[in-house]
A and B are shown apart, each in its own frame.
Chain A
């Protein structure tokens, strides 16, 4: 079973290296990566044009949080996974799955597959 194959997944991660790594993981799993974007404004701009099937959101983005993006996604019914280094506590309400950094490619893809199947 591969729940992410062919799915369009937005990646919001401010660390370019981590974003690249996450994109590699998702693409290896057959997903189509939107972005990756590194700033909240870029993510919101991208959501004006695109409708992803799911999203991976880093919680802390350049001194802010991805809460606004999470809210936009939740309103649009798009499932998302939050990535955080705070021991699994995202601090964002209504969030679904949380992956704790550092995560393996397998953990990341599994978390996205799970929110996509829910």
Chain B
């Protein structure tokens, strides 16, 4: 490597040719490395320097080597970050140093530079968008007297290099933005394709341009171009939904509307639509973008809930009416107050216990045995024996049966066989017949003491003869035998019937 060569001056007439060559190469480059290469070649031919470097502010705004020719790793490491300018600076003049040894730089730096075989050097700022983004440097092995022509050439190279870097950066930025946009579009498309909700995009007239697979399957759309979503609307909902959508399109506003739409299988489903106006990049209205959610189940559940609440209200009021009637019937007798109160409490308790039984079965049914067991208080399996197959009673039948059995039991305790500790009651029931099964229930008292028939129009008799008779559609036979009451109830087996 001849030191002589580096001080050779390029003949002036070639400057234009070399600058043209630089410009032409920069024009054709696609990779930033080629940009740097073209710059180094121009530096070599125009400034006669075969050693040079390009540095740029990195993301931490540290002036860092990005490309170089003829520099050792040690040197670059030592001087990396050294800069006369800061990132973002708008004004910067090239600095030409004929001999580093004659400067005021610190000794260690001067020594390091000289050790690298550098004596003369130049710092030329690079600009992009009007700000310093880095510099290029040229290095000379001997003292270098820089001419005006050197200065002009260096600045011309720096300008071209700056433009090329700026253009290249913009290209990278655009590519990155495009990639991001593509990625985002793809992500959205994937989301829309797999989304568990129906998504659609319409034009400014409301005609569907795009629908996701879920919505396509819902409507059974084969050709979106000829598809008219409004034909799937329930005729009763057409006017309202149509008007709301049209209004949203005209006012460019968000719309939220429910409607029944015919699914491909012909079943109407309730869809809730939320749509918003869609604007193009230029701000012009291009249509609506919306989602449809199938809320049929939710609507059904809401309706079911309202129904249940209504039913509960009805049941409560009916029960209150029963309690009211029970109170009136209990308190209208001539019996002493304490006897009336005791009777009322017993009846209320019998009613409440049956409600407990029914609540446990969601008010669907209660078994005859459970009802009977609770109607005889703690006497079940002691003085009162129960036997019979499993029979399910409907709620009202259960309530009336409980009330009637309660009356039989309290009557037996007061006037019948259970007046005596040795008295007993057999409560038996059976089911006979195949085609039209009949339930026969028999309450028979056996006791040592004589019994007194109760009053004909007493509450107990009403509950047993009329209420139980009506509710079970039963024939009731009351026989006040010497040993106690024998009551036989013959009824068609309640429709819920015998449990498996």
Q: Are A and B physically bound partners?
A: yes
Chain A residues with CB under 8 Å of chain B are 14-18, 20-21, 24, 38-39, 60, 62, 85-87, 100-103
Residues in B neighbouring A20, C-beta threshold 8 A: 325, 329, 462, 466
Query: Is residue B205 within 8 Å, beta carbon to beta carbon, of the partner chain?
Result: no
Residues in A neighbouring B310, C-beta threshold 8 A: 86
Cβ-defined contact, A85 with B325, below 8 A: no
4 A-B pairs closest in CB distance = A21-B325, A85-B317, A16-B467, A102-B321
In the assembly, what is the distance between CA of A36 and CA of B314, in Å?
22
In the assembly, what is the distance between CA of A20 and CA of B315, in Å?
19
Cβ-defined contact, A16 with B466, below 8 A: yes
Query: Is residue B149 within 8 Å, beta carbon to beta carbon, of the partner chain?
Result: no
Cβ-defined contact, B321 with A16, below 8 A: no
Whether A102 contacts B329 in the complex (CB less than 8 A), given A16-B462, A16-B470, A85-B313, comes out as: no
Main SS of chain B's interface residues? helix
Cβ-defined contact, B318 with A17, below 8 A: no
The listed residue (B313, B324, B466) touching A102 by CB distance below 8 A is: B324
Cβ-defined contact, B313 with A17, below 8 A: no
In the assembly, what is the distance between CA of A86 and CA of B309, in Å?
11
Within 8 A of A (CB), among B467-494: 467, 470-471
The listed residue (A21, A38, A100) touching B329 by CB distance below 8 A is: A21
Cβ-defined contact, A18 with B325, below 8 A: yes
Cβ-defined contact, B470 with A38, below 8 A: yes
Chain B residues with CB under 8 Å of chain A are 310, 313-318, 320-326, 328-329, 332, 396, 400, 462-463, 466-467, 470-471
The listed residue (A17, A24, A60, A62) touching B322 by CB distance below 8 A is: A17
From A24, which residue of chain B is reached at the shortest CB distance? B328
In the assembly, what is the distance between CA of A103 and CA of B318, in Å?
10
Cβ-defined contact, B322 with A18, below 8 A: yes
From A17, which residue of chain B is reached at the shortest CB distance? B325
In the assembly, what is the distance between CA of A18 and CA of B399, in Å?
14
Cβ-defined contact, A86 with B324, below 8 A: no
From A101, which residue of chain B is reached at the shortest CB distance? B321
Cβ-defined contact, A100 with B317, below 8 A: yes
Cβ-defined contact, A17 with B463, below 8 A: yes
Cβ distance B151 to chain A, nearest Cβ, rounded Å:
99
From B347, which residue of chain A is reached at the shortest CB distance? A17
Q: Which of B325, B329, B332, B396 has the most CB of A within 10 A?
A: B325
In the assembly, what is the distance between CA of A29 and CA of B316, in Å?
28
A-B contact pairs, 22 of them (CB 8 A): A15-B318, A15-B321, A15-B467, A16-B462, A16-B466, A17-B322, A17-B325, A18-B321, A20-B325, A20-B462, A20-B466, A21-B329, A38-B470, A39-B470, A85-B314, A85-B316, A86-B313, A86-B314, A87-B313, A100-B317, A102-B320, A102-B323
Whether A15 contacts B329 in the complex (CB less than 8 A), given A38-B470, A102-B317, comes out as: no
